[in-house]
Structure 1
Amino acid sequence: MEESIHGSSEKRVAVVTGGNRGMGLEICRQLAAHGITVVLTARDEKRGAETAEELRGLGLADVAFHQLEISDPAGAARLASFIKDKFGKLDILVNNAGVLGVTTDVGDRSILRETLAGKDAMERAEWLRQRTTQTTQEAEDCIRINYHGTKTVTEALLPLLRSSSDGRIVNLTSAWGLLRYFSGDEFRQELDDIDSLTKRRLDEISRLFLDDLKKGTLETRGWPTDPLYAAYMVSKALVCAYTRVLARENAALRVNCVHPGYVETGMSDYTGVLTAAEGAAVSVAIALAEEGGVTGAYFDREQVAGSFL
């Protein structure tokens, strides 16, 4: 279930969710290369443990693995107990784990690069869309994992982050989580009213979306109406709103969310235009930024966006 880890409590400690592949793996590698003690988490125990061992084999000794299914409250509590017993605090949490909530069929992967050669980001995204389907269950899983999973892990680890002298939370989001993708004003305005928004209300909004999705009435209350990616858009809009609520309620912490760009990972079926290392570098830079920076912000790559709209 877990491994011992080298180092002392004087070093900064980071947890990265979804750390066994793609951008999550790169975030772990880059943080460890900066001298951070990293707890790599992943749902698959065998693959996660093997990945941590591979990183240690690269000379990054202070990397350990702990199994975590982010939407499982009991698993998040076990992770919190491990961190508390081993370190007594947590300095950095990078909520990277997530799903797109669709099924894609890109055909022969051995010729994928050749197929996509010369296509820009928009053309690649449209090419992928034409090969994508979604079930209601996949949409439900998207909300459960991306929003509720992020919230479950964060709430379990918040006491430990508050024990740090400079706690940081970085939530991975997407430009598709911006409120401009909502087709009406009802929830766009509510999700942007950060002074009034609560975690309980965010949970209620997630349930309302799924109810409307099942009834086929997304247009009625102005949800995103994209037939394939509405659930992903709403899940990431909820993550952005949750980030702002956390920042408001935890002034001693720095809580931000980041859109890493269109990254070439398994989540994008390797159709992205940025490498996993390039995508990861943004989250790492935010996690390691000098004290006293922004909180409650949305980063579009390296730039702080002035609005979530």
Structure 2
Amino acid sequence: MVTTRPSPTGFGSQFNSSGARIAVVTGGNKGIGLEVCRQLAAGGLTVVLTARDETRGAAAAEKLREQGLSGVVIFHQLEITDASSIARLVEFLKTHFGRLDILVNNAAVGGTELVDDPSFGPKPEGEQFSGMDYQQRIGWMWRNCRETYDTAKEGLHTNYYGTKQHFRGEELKQELNDGDNLTEERLDELMETFLKDLEAGASEVRGWPSEFASYKVAKAAVNAYSRIMARRHPALRVNCAHPGFVKTDMTRNAGLLTPQEGASNVVKVALLPAGGPTCAFFALGAEASFI
């Protein structure tokens, strides 16, 4: 989910003397998040790179600063499932900037445990993936992971962007796509229902996804939640951005796009002009249907 607000009248601070726009990127220490930070900072923005691990996050921010980007890169620790960690970031933003212009909710987990299955052959690396199409790469990933109740629960509590087209149950599709009537309370109920169905081994009966279920369910729920937020805050631009199937640690480098390419699809949405679309879904940088 990418949230922006109209460009403010610039003012300085100890971290932002130029009065540039302020962007926060969650999960910014590697992969797509790191590249989103780089591209935003290259455009002259002040970027707050956040990560769970302080050592890795600080190192990532320093690496970007060494590249001589025109903007400013600052690290701040953030665990998005920890209310106290979120509160500390909010206080930091209030104290040093007094505002936030762009929020890129990039942090995510796979919702599975990685398991190398010898029966499926050796793990493809580098150019070995070049002979595999999208479905073959996804198939390899699914055969080499395991989804449990605990990993699914973690996925629902962490993940933030994705699409709804993976749902086989038409009733679920329609309910999650009903942006005008869906409520936050009903979304919470649906997530609890998913976990109960998964624990009972009945997820397919209701039409939940059969592969990478928690990842897809969580991302679809955030898509729906973004529409609730867009209605609640009409002055903001609240949109969803799908970067594509990207080569990252989460995909075990099986993706089709580089982190630079995936990040550019997110940055396009983050930098939409004032008066641009809100309550929209963008796939590969272009506006698309939620379903």
Q: Fold-level match, TM-score > 0.5?
A: yes
- Number of residue-to-residue matches in the alignment: 275
Change (3 A) 1:9 1:209: farther
- Match of 1:219, SS state, is helix
2:221 maps to 1:238: yes
Change (3 A) 1:119 1:185: closer
Which of 111, 126, 134 lines up with 1:121 in the alignment?
A: 134
User: Which one has the bigger helix percentage?
Assistant: 1
Change (3 A) 1:204 1:15: same
- Corresponding position of 1:292: 275
2:290 maps to 1:308: yes
Deviates more, 1:51-60 or 1:78-87: 51-60
Contact 1:5 1:64 in 2 (8 A): no
- Match of 1:24, SS state, is helix
Which of 25, 29, 33 lines up with 2:34 in the alignment?
A: 25
Structure 2: give runs of 5+ residues left out of the alignment: 1-12
Contact 1:5 1:62 in 2 (8 A): no
Matches within 5 A, 1:142-161: 142-146=155-159, 150=160
Contact 2:166 2:216 in 1 (8 A): yes
Shift of 1:189: 2.0
Q: Which gives a bigger RCO, structure 1 or 2 (Cα 8 Å, sep 6+)? A: 2
Structure 1: give runs of 5+ residues left out of the alignment: 151-172
Shift of 1:54: 1.0
Which of 164, 177, 201 lines up with 2:186 in the alignment?
A: 201
Amino acid at match of 2:31: G
- Corresponding position of 1:223: 208
CA distance in 1, matches of 2:18, 2:195: 43
2:243 maps to 1:260: yes
Shift of 1:238: 0.1
Give TM-score, length-normalised by structure 1.
0.84
Which of 141, 144, 152 lines up with 2:154 in the alignment?
A: 141
Percent identity at matched positions? Answer: 50
CA distance in 1, matches of 2:147, 2:175: 27
Say what the alpha-carbon RMSD is for the aligned residues. 2.0
CA distance in 2, matches of 1:182, 1:308: 12
- Match of 2:204, SS state, is coil
- Corresponding position of 1:53: 62
- Match of 1:124, SS state, is helix
Shift of 1:31: 0.3
Give TM-score, length-normalised by structure 2.
0.89
